[in-house]
Structure 1
Amino acid sequence: MSQNFQPPAPDSMTAAPTAPAARTGNVGLGIAAAVVAALVAAVAYGYIMKAADKEYGYAAIAVGALIGFAAGKLGGRNPILPVISVLLSIGAVFLGQLTFIALVVADLGHVGVGEVLSKTGVGGLIDVWKEGADVMTYAFLGIGGFVAFGAAKKGTE
């Protein structure tokens, strides 16, 4: 027998095998899903605001939850996903607010949204947004981002 031989410890022979590591997800797929969710949520948010003729905090919460959940569920536990979800949610709520403005202007002018965009451009919509922005406008941006961060973290559980 060799002098380097060490018998295994008694506990190591009876220990249960360890479970394989949990699947971490695909970060690229999580980001792509969050981008698609952000675009869909932005348009839906604008139409909800137009139908109600006002902005609802619950809708901003839904935007953030959808984006964060999509990122977390498909992207896994990567720490960049909650941050990306926040940014996408703020952008989606903002884009939803611009969609609402475009829908209102189109309705008032009895024209299509495409015509509003071709005549005013996005810059014109942003100018209108700036004029009408108040504390609640910014609060909805923050609410959506806050919820997206939490949803991205919970989407992996």
Structure 2
Amino acid sequence: MTQPVQPPPSGNPFADGVGYPNAPAPAPVRDNVGLGVAAAFGVALVTAGIYGAIVGATEYQIGFAAVGVGYLIGLVAGKIGGRNPALPVVAAILSLGAVYLGQLLGLAIVGADLLKTTVSELFFQNFDLLMEGWKEEAGPMTFLFLAIGAFAAFSAAKKSAA
């Protein structure tokens, strides 16, 4: 037979927590900047490939896709990396690189069809042709999409770390 729980001598039944479950463990600290940057870099590579495939398939740059690239990079950087003030800046820079790489990949997909070659050959062996094509095609919208992606990454990293 068990004995009933006696209140502590202070008279406060909540003083020692006897008979009550333990409080849940605190949430893990998310201030791991290195892991946040590494994860954001991985997401930048994946989203650059997706953005490049979209540009190559449609032969148009789509602003919402650039926003998506930036948002996903920033979201991952903030969620994993935490509140470090450098993370939004790093996410914006990674987004610039990802959108740019996606534009190059999309141009390589389109150019490979026109030049009757493979995307990898154009991208890795004839990169100078690809850069010339990008410079000729680059206009205000190209740079606007770069800026939009960077802004989305910066904003998402700040909001997701809160």
Shift of 1:113: 1.1
Q: Residue 157 of structure 2: which of 122, 142, 152 is its match?
A: 152
Q: Residue 86 of structure 1: which of 83, 92, 107 is its match?
A: 92
Deviates more, 1:48-57 or 1:73-82: 48-57
Tell me what 1:128 maps to.
133
**TM superposition score normalised by structure 1:** 0.82
Q: As a proportion of its length, which structure holds more helix? A: 1
Partner Cα separation in structure 2 for residue 141 and residue 125 of structure 1: 18
Runs (4+) off by over 3 Å: none
Tell me what 2:81 maps to.
75
Shift of 1:107: 1.2
**Gap runs ≥5 in structure 2:** 1-25
Partner Cα separation in structure 1 for residue 129 and residue 114 of structure 2: 16
Letter in 2 for 1:126: M
Tell me what 2:21 maps to.
none
Letter in 2 for 1:98: L
Letter in 1 for 2:57: A
Letter in 2 for 1:134: G
Letter in 2 for 1:148: A
Shift of 1:22: 7.2
Give yes or no for contact 2:56–2:108 (8 Å, CA) kept in 1: no
**Gap runs ≥5 in structure 1:** 1-19
Partner Cα separation in structure 1 for residue 45 and residue 27 of structure 2: 33
Tell me what 2:48 maps to.
42
Partner Cα separation in structure 2 for residue 53 and residue 82 of structure 1: 30
- The structure-2 alpha-carbon separation of the partners of 1:39 and 1:21, relative to structure 1 and needing over 3 Å to count, comes to closer
Count of equivalent residues: 139
**CA distances 1:13-71 after superposition (whole Å, capped 9, x unpaired):** xxxxxxx7972421100000110010001110010112222111100000000100010
Letter in 1 for 2:105: T
Tell me what 1:3 maps to.
none
Q: Secondary structure at the match of 2:126?
A: helix
**TM superposition score normalised by structure 2:** 0.80
Partner Cα separation in structure 2 for residue 118 and residue 75 of structure 1: 33
- The structure-2 alpha-carbon separation of the partners of 1:135 and 1:24, relative to structure 1 and needing over 3 Å to count, comes to same
Partner Cα separation in structure 2 for residue 106 and residue 150 of structure 1: 36
Quote the RMSD (CA, aligned, Å): 1.9
Partner Cα separation in structure 1 for residue 157 and residue 133 of structure 2: 32
Q: Residue 143 of structure 2: which of 138, 143, 148 is its match?
A: 138
